[in-house]
Amino acid sequence: MTITYRSDVTVKAVRTSAMDHDVTQAARVSTLGAEAIDAQGSTKGLINFLMRDRHGSPFEHNSFTFYIEAPIFVAREFFRHRAGWSYNEESGRYKELNPVFYLPAPGRPLVQVGKPGAYTFEPGTDLQYTVASGVAAEAYRHAWSSYQVQLRAGIAREVARNVLPVATYTSFFATCNARSLMHFLSLRTSKENAKVPSFPLREIAMVAEEMEAHFAEHMPVTHAAFEKHGRVAA
């Protein structure tokens, strides 16, 4: 197989069962009981109240399932999000992995300025980008060759994979609800209107931005309230 280099991510919406009415219906059961099933009323006003006062549970009665392709180092950050999330990932024990590796795109900040807890990332020079890409590509070629040598020698996939870097692309399904998705977005995007600043890894932010676009499309009132109240998860 030919080695492939990527600088992007793939985010596909597999299944979506989510709309703003799900939130208001769940919220109204507290005062209406069974009548909440057919109740109508102000969606925007109620959702803004719930978001402002952080009444979070009504935002859990919906579901988003995404298929994601990203480097392993992105998946490992993703899997730190546990409350309200479910994952299934392709397995290097059961299938031969594909020779697809991550290279930073031109313009991806390369230089860390400042100390831990108080730093920023700035663009690198053309030379730094050439070095970063060239060294990485050479390491990937060597790692892939080492992986293939082991497989041809009959060594188990779960052992042979140990030589592959975290820049190898993996694929996984991720399922969440709107509340857990908003918590993810509050941490994995960087927005000027956020009440709590976040400094996410650029590559996981790329995934988050595509997920947020889908969220805004299907739950526009909830997303607008999320934005209005400082991108703090309810």
Q: How far is C-alpha 189 from the geometric centre of its chain's CA atoms?
A: 10
Q: How far apart are CA 196 and CA 22, in angstroms?
A: 27
Taking the CA atoms of the chain, what radius of gyration do you get in angstroms? 21
Q: How far apart are CA 80 and CA 59, in angstroms?
A: 21
Distances (CA, A) of 10 to 114, 173, 208: 32, 12, 11
Q: CB within 8 A of 95, min separation 6: which ones?
A: 157
What one-character DSSP code corresponds to residue 143?
A: H
Closest CA to 203 of 169, 177, 165, 164: 169
Q: What H or E segment, with its residue span, contains residue 211?
A: helix 202-218
Catalytic residues: 188
Q: How far apart are CA 190 and CA 219, in angstroms?
A: 21
Q: Which residue has the tokens 């052992």?
A: 159
